[in-house]
């Protein structure tokens, strides 16, 4: 084998720069075992030394470190009686890398049983094994008829089948009516429309984020085609769903959202899990935009959509964990909607679905948030004082919750102490975004001022307290970017009633 192989030498071994090792590091134990079996097969590989290399890497998996995978170590394992020859080892790595690429191709391809069957039909047709061909075609048609997923790939598979059936018809040269070419065109149209509309939705979203203008040739023709035949295309989920999603994104009105939501909820089972997540994300992003515009009714819609996703197990990652931020967002939204009983149950039920590394902090903080919302403030203190948050987002949220709890409990000395340390934390931590830092600082300053006015009542002239209060209320009204502004408004209303007694 005359193969050139370039290796970057780093600390005496190539664990970090070698492509083969970098891919194998991503493997599970099961995948590594399958790759080892793949390399041992004489059908795919006839080189004994490459088999030995694969066997060694399988043996040390997953410890691909300097000790196990140094160049000298591997060479001595393979050639114990020879002097080190890097070029000889490089050739083996190159050949094994090629086998690895073939393995990855096969692993991704093996799940596409429809394409397998179509290729088999093609081979049978070329060999004129027509009786066998007819039998296999019947099985493929039965297999496709049982398919519940009707995304764009569904029409692509039917197109491949119809295309093969049309070639079969041409090869046999029968003078009889055959509809395979018409079916081929119909499925091709459905596949094209599905894919065109799906990509059009994604292009709309990306263009807003990346500020890129995409070419959308023929899109207007596609939209006009579906618009003029909506009743017809309602029987094709992957067309009508993305058509409604596209209209929702581009028109941005409540009617378009309702139509899109209806189609998604009606046809969601026709899509695979990943595509289901994407469809719900389109709806959720629309809701978030409306919530940010002050349309509170969309908070309820978004919350209900999240519960649907939770019920369909769409919020869990590939390892079955629920994101701590989904967990937190569900609690926050539920509290705002006064879904207290459901939220309390949710916090406990899904605690064990959080990743072990974050479960303690996430559970503690969200339980504290719940207790604050039901005015069980002593429980809030008990939870928050025992946890030190390393994540900035949790740290900010926990400190602001503790600040409000101290105020509500009239624990003014701890509040003033926390205020000082909180402001220092905000000033020193450079990872906090400026807008967030400013909003939190305003919360602390205004809370501190309200606290001082309240503690001075009865010790200073009422006119002075009233003057300080009016200045505080005016400053709050004229200041942008104040986190928990509504809470501060409520506290000032309470303070005003005290001043009026």
Query: Residue 485 has what pLDDT?
Result: 94
Q: With a cut of 90, say whether residue 211 has pLDDT above it.
A: no
| One domain for residues 127 and 157 | yes
State how many domains the chain has.
3
Residue 177 lies in a domain: yes
* Cα–Cα distance, 441 to 432 (Å, whole number): 12
- Is 471 a member of any domain? yes
17 pLDDT above the threshold of 60: no
User: How large a percentage of the chain has pLDDT more than 70?
Assistant: 96
What local confidence, expressed as pLDDT, does residue 318 receive?
86
Mean pLDDT taken over the chain: 91
Residue 9 predicted with pLDDT over 60? no
Percent of the chain with pLDDT over 90: 77
Looking at the fold, whether 105 and 140 belong to one and the same domain comes out as: no
Q: Does residue 311 form part of some domain?
A: no
**For position 344, what pLDDT does the model report?**
97
Domain's final residue, options 87, 109, 131: 109
Q: How confident is the model at residue 353 (pLDDT cuts 50, 70, 90)?
A: very high
Higher pLDDT among residues 71 and 248, named by residue: 248
In 3D space, the residue among 276, 279, 269, 280 whose CA is nearest the CA of residue 147 turns out to be 269
* Cα dihedral sign, 23-28-29-35: negative
**339 lies in some domain:** no
Q: Which helix (H) or strand (E) holds 14?
A: none
- Whether residue 45 sits in one domain with residue 140: no
Asked if residue 15 has pLDDT above 80, the reply is no
Question: What is each CA distance from 55 to 7, 36, 45, 77, in whole angstroms?
Answer: 22, 7, 13, 11
Per-residue confidence (pLDDT) for residue 174, from 0 to 100: 67
My answer on whether 92 and 125 are in the same domain is no
Residues 491 and 472 in one domain: yes
Domain that holds residue 483: 389-501
Whether residues 500 and 459 share a domain: the answer is yes
**Domain for residue 484, yes or no?**
yes
Specify the higher pLDDT residue, 258 or 205: 258
Average pLDDT over residues 466-479: 95
Work out the average pLDDT over 475-500.
94
Give the tens place of pLDDT for each residue, 418-436: 999 999 999 998 889 899 9
- What was the pLDDT predicted at 460? 84
Instruction: Please report which confidence band the pLDDT of residue 387 belongs to, taking 50, 70 and 90 as the band edges.
Output: confident
Quick check: 476 and 446 in contact, CB under 8 A? yes
Looking at the structure, tell me whether residues 101 and 166 fall in a common domain: no
Residue 427 belongs to some domain of the structure: yes
Tell me the C-alpha distance between 42 and 58, whole Å.
18
Question: Rounded to two decimals, what is the model's pTM?
Answer: 0.80
pLDDT range class, residue 10, cuts 50, 70, 90: very low
Q: Are residues 483 and 406 in the same domain?
A: yes
Using the 8-state DSSP alphabet, how is residue 358 labeled?
T
pLDDT (0 to 100) of residue 217 = 85
For the cut 80, the answer to whether the pLDDT of residue 236 exceeds it is: yes
The token pair at 477 is 């009204």
Q: Residues of 331-369 as b/e, b for ≥16 C-beta within 10 angstroms? A: bbbbbebebeeebbebbeebbebbeeebbebbbbbbbbb
CA distance 270 to 253: 26
Last residue of a domain, one of 196, 230, 245: 196
Is the residue at 96 inside a domain?
yes
Q: Which residue has the higher pLDDT, 177 or 455?
A: 455
Confidence of residue 6 (pLDDT cuts 50, 70, 90): very low
Give 84 or 236, the one with higher predicted confidence. Answer: 236
Same domain, 24 and 130: no
Residues 100 and 172 in one domain: no
- What is the DSSP code (8-state) at residue 13? B
Specify the length of the chain in residues: 501
Q: How far apart are CA 499 and CA 126, in angstroms?
A: 95
3-state secondary structure of 93: helix
DSSP-assigned states of every residue in 101-115 = HHHHHHHHHTT-HHH
Average pLDDT over residues 465-479: 95
CB 305 within 8 A of CB 284: yes
20 near 97, Cβ under 8 Å?
Answer: yes
* pLDDT single digits (tens) 303-352: 999 999 999 999 999 889 999 999 999 999 999 999 999 999 999 999 99
Model confidence pLDDT, tens digit, residues 272-303: 999 999 999 999 999 999 998 889 999 999 99
Q: How confident is the model at residue 175 (pLDDT cuts 50, 70, 90)?
A: low
Domain boundary among 89, 109, 129: 109
> Residues 153-172, buried b or exposed e (16+ Cβ, 10 A)?
bbbbbbbbbbbbbbbbeeee
Q: Does the pLDDT at position 251 exceed 80?
A: yes
Establish if 155 belongs to a structural domain.
yes
Q: Can you give the pLDDT at residue 254?
A: 93
Half-sphere exposure (Cβ direction) of 168: Cα atoms closer than 13 Å: 27
**What's the whole-number mean pLDDT along residues 480-486?**
93
Q: Give the best-scoring range by mean pLDDT among 143-152, 202-211, 240-249.
A: 240-249
């Amino acid at each position: 084998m005359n193969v050139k192989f370039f290796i970057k030498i780093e600390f005496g071994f190539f664990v970090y720069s070698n492509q083969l090792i970098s891919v194998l590091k991503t493997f599970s134990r099961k995948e590594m075992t399958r790759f080892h079996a793949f390399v041992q097969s004489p059908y795919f590989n006839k080189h004994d030394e490459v088999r030995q290399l694969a066997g060694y890497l399988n043996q040390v998996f997953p410890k691909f470190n300097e000790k196990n995978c140094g160049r000298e170590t591997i060479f001595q394992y393979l050639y114990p009686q020879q002097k080190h020859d890097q070029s000889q080892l490089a050739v083996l790595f190159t050949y094994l890398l090629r086998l690895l690429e073939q393995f990855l191709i096969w692993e991704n391809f093996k799940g596409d049983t429809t394409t397998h069957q179509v290729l088999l039909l093609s081979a049978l047709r070329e060999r004129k094994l027509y009786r066998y061909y007819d039998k296999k075609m019947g099985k493929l048609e039965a297999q496709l008829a049982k398919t519940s997923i009707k995304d764009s790939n569904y029409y692509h598979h039917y197109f491949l089948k119809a295309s093969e059936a049309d070639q079969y018809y041409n090869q046999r040269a029968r003078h009889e009516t055959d509809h395979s070419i018409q079916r081929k065109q119909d499925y091709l149209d459905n596949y094209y429309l599905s894919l065109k509309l799906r990509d059009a939705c994604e292009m709309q979203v990306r263009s807003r984020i990346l500020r890129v203008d995409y070419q959308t040739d023929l899109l207007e023709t596609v939209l006009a085609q579906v618009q003029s035949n909506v009743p017809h295309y309602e029987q094709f989920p992957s067309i009508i769903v993305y058509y409604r999603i596209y209209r929702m994104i581009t028109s941005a009105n409540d009617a378009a959202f309702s139509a899109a939501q209806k189609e998604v909820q009606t046809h969601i089972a026709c899509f695979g899990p990943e595509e289901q997540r994407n469809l719900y994300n389109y709806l959720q992003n629309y809701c978030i935009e409306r919530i940010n515009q002050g349309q509170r009714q969309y908070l309820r819609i978004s919350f209900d959509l999240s519960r649907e996703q939770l019920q369909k197990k769409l919020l869990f990652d590939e390892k079955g964990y629920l994101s701590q931020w989904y967990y937190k967002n569900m609690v926050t939204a539920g509290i705002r909607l006064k879904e207290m009983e459901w939220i309390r149950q949710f916090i406990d039920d899904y605690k064990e679905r959080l990743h072990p590394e974050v479960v303690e902090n996430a559970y503690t903080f969200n339980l504290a948030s719940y207790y604050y919302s039901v005015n069980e403030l002593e429980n809030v203190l008990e939870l928050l004082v025992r946890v030190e948050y390393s994540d900035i987002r949790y740290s900010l949220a926990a400190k602001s919750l503790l600040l409000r709890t101290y105020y509500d409990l009239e624990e003014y000395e701890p509040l003033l102490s926390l205020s000082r340390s909180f402001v220092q934390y905000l000033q020193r931590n450079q990872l906090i975004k400026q807008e967030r830092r400013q909003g939190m600082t305003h919360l602390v300053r205004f809370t501190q001022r309200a606290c001082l006015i309240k503690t001075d009542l009865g010790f200073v002239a009422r006119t002075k307290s009233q003057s300080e209060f009016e200045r505080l209320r005016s400053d709050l009204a004229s200041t942008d970017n104040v986190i928990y502004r509504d809470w501060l408004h409520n506290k000032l209303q309470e303070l005003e009633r005290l001043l009026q007694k």
